[in-house]
Chains A and B, each alone.
Chain A
Amino acid sequence: MSTTAEATIDVRVWRGGEKGEYQSFAVPRRDSQTVLDVVTWIQRHADPTLAYRFACRVGVCGSCAMTVNGRPRWTCRTHVSKVIEDGRVEIGPLANLPVIRDLAADLTPFFEKWQKAEGTFVPSRTRHEPLETISPESPERQAANAAIECINCGVCYAACDTVRWSPEYFGPAALNRSWSLVNDVRDAGNLKRLAAAASNGGCHNCHSHQSCEQLCPQGLNPTASIAGLKRRTMQAYIRGEIS
């Protein structure tokens, strides 16, 4: 796409906390420009007080997620050309999380829910025992691998209306993590994990809107993971393993 030196984008950026307003900036249009480039340009050339969060700039760390034209995105890998609408880009903080300031959301509730969903690996062997040999081709390992590439960016959590409507709900990322561990044959914490998945904040809240799957920058499918948890918790309940 060719651009002229004068071409600009009409960028509206959220300023304030939970309450605030969008502030307009004219940002020079560049080829291959990402949304994070736009935000950085504003902070460096227009308003140094703009608060936002990023680290790696290459889609690994998961810290730069923001709301772009109404949808959560990882801004470092989102090209302006993909999301621009009528020459305008509107950028806000991630939804369903407290706003610290401007574009920085507080991810504390997001990570607290990982804990509540028992998203921590529980080893079945000690360091004194030999390493367990896991075949990469085994169905369990492949199921675990399907859900494992999460970078904790919070995009799915911000895109989930069930999170919006039920503050207790753990959300797609935490349950996706739970499903990955449920399929991990080295893990010894499944009963507690399935009990958490079947609790009030657990998998049975999900309405299968699949916004998480459609917006996950890693191409994961948390809805499929949650559907797996629904089946597995049901089986555990029928067997009397969880109440």
Chain B
Amino acid sequence: MSTQPHNTAYRSDRLWLAAMVHRVSGVLLAAFLPLHFLVLGLAIESEGQLDSFLQWTKSPLVKLAETGLVLLLAIHLLGGLRVLVIENMPWRNGQKRMATLAAAAAVGIAGVFLIALL
């Protein structure tokens, strides 16, 4: 038995997903930033700890995580540019294609980064 009408099927539409992926990438990047600053802080506090941390970052798992980070950055950058274009320039049709191209470009950038790391 339902207690509320079902009315959100449009959420699987491509541009809705584009906006959501952009937003989620921003939240994840914001969550990453404190960790980044913590590591930068090690450079001032303890050289030895920083060196051992940098050694740890050479493990394959961390490299994969870094690729994920680059993917998030590329998604957020391109998603932000998409919003700026929509809101500040004359309207252009074909936004679905633009969103798809932005997603493909973000994956491409992350892929190139991963290949460069290997």
B8 in contact with A19 (CB, 8 Å): no
A158:B87 contact, CB within 8 angstroms: no
Closest Cβ of chain A: how far from B13's Cβ, in Å? 6
**Main DSSP-derived SS at the A contact region:** mixed
For the complex formed, measure the closest distance between the CB of B82 and the CB atoms of chain A, giving whole angstroms: 8
Query: Which of B1, B2, B4, B16 meets A209, CB within 8 Å?
Result: B16
Question: Would A231 and B10 be within 8 Å (CB), given that A14-B5, A208-B19 are in contact?
Answer: no
**A227 lies within 8 A of B6 (CB):** no
Total number of residue pairs linking A and B with CB closer than 8 Å: 75
Q: Is the CB of B11 within 8 A of A208?
A: no
Please report the C-alpha to C-alpha distance between residue A231 and residue B10 in the assembled complex, in whole angstroms: 27
Contact check, A70 vs B7: say whether CB atoms are below 8 A apart: yes
The answer to whether B7 touches A95, judged by C-beta atoms less than 8 angstroms apart, is: yes
Chain B residue at smallest Cβ distance from A92: B5
Q: Which B residues, 63 to 118, have Cβ-Cβ distances below 8 Å to chain A? A: 83, 86-88, 91, 95
Interface 0/1 of B1-34, CB less than 8 Å to A: 1111111111101011001000000000000000
Interface residues in chain A, defined as those with a beta carbon under 8 Å from any beta carbon in chain B: 14, 18-22, 67, 69-72, 90, 92-95, 99, 158-159, 161, 207-211, 214-215, 221, 223-224, 227-228, 230-231, 234
Interface residues of B (CB under 8 A from A): 1-11, 13, 15-16, 19, 83, 86-88, 91, 95
- A sample of 16 more A-B contacts (CB under 8 A), given A21-B1, A70-B9, A208-B95, is A20-B3, A21-B2, A22-B2, A70-B8, A71-B7, A71-B9, A71-B10, A92-B6, A93-B5, A207-B19, A208-B15, A208-B19, A209-B13, A209-B19, A210-B95, A211-B10
